[in-house]
């Protein structure tokens, strides 16, 4: 017996095609939503971190706080990089003997000396290195909880009677307090070569 040649009804296949296309569109929409959300999170964090703070936050959120540390006349001089994140620019700030830093921050010290060989030693922070004239050392550290940490004099000559007991201090404080302190410091308007040394 011959069967009659019946053409397939196209309406039977359309629902399957529609279902497949619907699932494909739903999958693409879900993937696009997840990707957009994933990309938006770092941007939202960046915007939130800048709200309510000064111009310096944008640099410090992305990288370490750069501090130039120079031994001079048995003391430490600190040069904090400004908003550009680079030392030796007019927006740097300088302080003698006492440096303030925020809690739990990444710090990059650029250590050198103008006159003698010094030991940069903060026992409370477990930071220790040597400062040598005409040599520069870049050191990465992290601050811990709040506190005041003396930079102890550890003379290379071995004679403590000729030196003070400490060469400086690092104060680790809350981030908001640090930013307020930083904004109050005067900017260096001239590059260091044009400034008179103190």
| Model pLDDT for residues 1-30, shown as the tens digit of each residue | 566 666 655 555 555 556 676 777 877 778
- Looking at residue 15, its pLDDT comes to 56
- Looking at residue 198, its pLDDT comes to 40
pLDDT single digits (tens) 145-160: 899 998 887 766 655 5
- Looking at residue 178, its pLDDT comes to 92
Average pLDDT in the chain: 76
- Say yes or no to pLDDT of 68 above 60: yes
Q: How confident is the model at residue 102 (pLDDT cuts 50, 70, 90)?
A: very high
- Looking at residue 45, its pLDDT comes to 53
57-192 has which CATH code? 2.60.40.420
Give the span between the Cα atoms of 192 and 35, in whole angstroms.
Answer: 47
- Say yes or no to pLDDT of 189 above 80: no
Entry pTM: 0.61
């Amino acid at each position: 017996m011959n069967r009659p040649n019946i053409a397939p009804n196209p309406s039977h296949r359309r629902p399957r095609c529609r279902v497949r296309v619907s699932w494909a569109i739903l999958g693409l929409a879900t993937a696009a939503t997840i990707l957009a959300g994933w990309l938006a999170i770092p941007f939202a964090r960046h915007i939130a971190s800048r709200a309510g703070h000064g111009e310096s936050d944008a640099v410090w959120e992305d990288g370490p706080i750069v501090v130039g540390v120079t031994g001079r006349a048995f003391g430490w001089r600190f040069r904090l990089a400004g908003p550009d994140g680079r030392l030796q620019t007019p927006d740097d700030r300088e302080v003698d003997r006492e440096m303030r830093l925020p809690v739990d921050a990444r710090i990059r010290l650029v250590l050198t000396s103008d006159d003698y060989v010094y030991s940069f030693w903060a026992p409370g922070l477990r930071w220790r290195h040597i400062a040598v004239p005409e040599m520069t050392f870049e050191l990465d550290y992290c601050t811990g909880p709040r506190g005041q940490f003396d930079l102890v004099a550890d003379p290379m000559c071995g004679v403590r009677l000729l030196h003070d007991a400490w060469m400086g201090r690092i104060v680790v404080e809350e981030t908001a307090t640090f930013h307020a302190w930083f904004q109050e410091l005067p900017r260096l308007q001239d590059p260091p070569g044009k400034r008179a040394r103190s």
